[in-house]
Amino acid sequence: MAQHALLAFDLGAESGRTILGTLDGRQLNIRELSRFPNGMAALLGHLHWDVLQLFQEMKKGLRMCAAEVTAEPESIGVDTWGVDFALLAPDGSLVGLPYGYRDPRTNGAMEEFFRRVPRERVYELTGIQFIQFNSLFQLFAMVRERCPLLPVASDMLFMPDLFNYLLTGARRNEFTVATTSQLYNPVTGDWEEELFAALGISRDIMQEIVPPGTVLGKLEGEICRETGLKEVPVIATASHDTAAAVAAAPAEGEGWAYISSGTWSLMGVETPKPIITDQSREHNFTNEGGVENTFRVLRNIMGLWLLRQCREAWAADRRYRYQELSEMALSAPPFKAVIEPDHPSFLNPPDMPEAIRNLCRKTKQPAPESPAEFVRCILESLALKYRLVLDQLREIHARPIETIHIIGGGARNNVLCQFTADATGVEVVAGPAEATAVGNLLVQALGLGCVGSLAEIRDIVRQSFSVVRYQPTKTPEWQSAYDRFRGLQS
């Protein structure tokens, strides 16, 4: 069988990477060509993404590919986080730096928008969970503040769409990332006119929605000359990073759920149709697009962001490795305090350990003291949150859930994986840790016709990457802690 070389850009909230994939029959091998930092930059009281620097790093990755790889890549694909977007002027130039989703300008935007369109109606139209930084509320915040960028903008591109545009000149909105916006109606399969009318913005600002695996065009000539690559096709892969990761879950059958674990934990199930009911709205589940017209019915959970921010707070005294922190957690007493990971005070506090202490005091629990106690509190609380979401998934989803696939960077955290098995009482299958890049590459292969289906993608993942299985150890302590955790929800 022929070998196929594919190139993926995987851009996360903390770092970006250039990944080369080689598909040889039913075996995928991956190699990291470059890694570069990412993060929201503070500028004049707001948080923005430095997309110009990110694009420079992407071009460096292209140059490295041209210089180090004997086989020209057959395609290029980009995945990023969801909801954030860029605006273009009529001449195609960028209108300002895109805002980051943790920017405070959306504070109060949801509640104010609901005066225009009731909460229940917004969910009925979109099936998207309510988070203040959804694209809908970011746009409304700009309308509310009479942002001068909106009147001069002719096109809106989500983050992966922007980089695809910079690579090819093509302006399209890819399906999986478009569905995260709360501007898309998954029943009609199009942008929702009623919401754009409520915003006072023409829906003409949006682009044609294309499915994952669509060939957008070829690498522009100027970039080819600058990097040394030929006119490689650029594919709109599963452009939302969670969609790419779920596509690479090594699952079989139907009785499984997933947790795409990283800065955020995205926990849910894959379904052929969206689930939009009163019950799914009450539990704040979202319906985001997947590969082959599937939907990811899931909850966004704050995830390892809490651990990352604690690590940053401690860095002045000691720079802990993540594995070291996880191992330290086992030396701390269990269930000293449990916290709600999605508490609003954790969105972007100046001092995460202090925010955790304050919430513990507010809920009349002893606050963690040592780094080991903080980490144990975070990991146990995440596992208990997964149990809560699993229980809610079982309420809205008719099929049994017997396995949880943990994919993404959190699959390397053996303590969190075991805690998840213990808290939920089901087997946890961890891996691949590089699921997002793997999904990005294999959806490109799907677009090129090298792979025939989503089922075939998952078969290749199973043959190419090992997993670790964690069996639950049922103890009364976990049930007691879960009862305490449920008490925090009221």
Catalytic positions, written as ranges: 241
Query: Is the Cα torsion angle 36, 437, 258, 392 positive or negative in sign?
Result: positive
Question: Helices in 105-255 by DSSP H: which ranges?
Answer: 109-113, 119-126, 135-144, 159-168, 175-178, 193-199, 221-227, 241-247
CA atoms within 13 A on the CB side of 377: 25
| Residue 343 CA to its chain's centroid (Å) | 19
Give the single-character DSSP code of 451.
Answer: S
DSSP-derived 3-state class of residue 50:
coil
Q: Which helix (H) or strand (E) is 473 found in, with range? A: none
Task: State the Cα–Cα distance between residues 199 and 147, nearest whole angstrom.
Answer: 13
Task: State the Cα–Cα distance between residues 474 and 422, nearest whole angstrom.
Answer: 6
258 beta partners: 268, 405
Residue pair 69/1 in contact by the 8 Å Cβ criterion = no
Task: State the Cα–Cα distance between residues 36 and 58, nearest whole angstrom.
Answer: 9
Task: State the Cα–Cα distance between residues 51 and 489, nearest whole angstrom.
Answer: 38
Residue pair 178/142 in contact by the 8 Å Cβ criterion = no
Residue pair 130/299 in contact by the 8 Å Cβ criterion = no
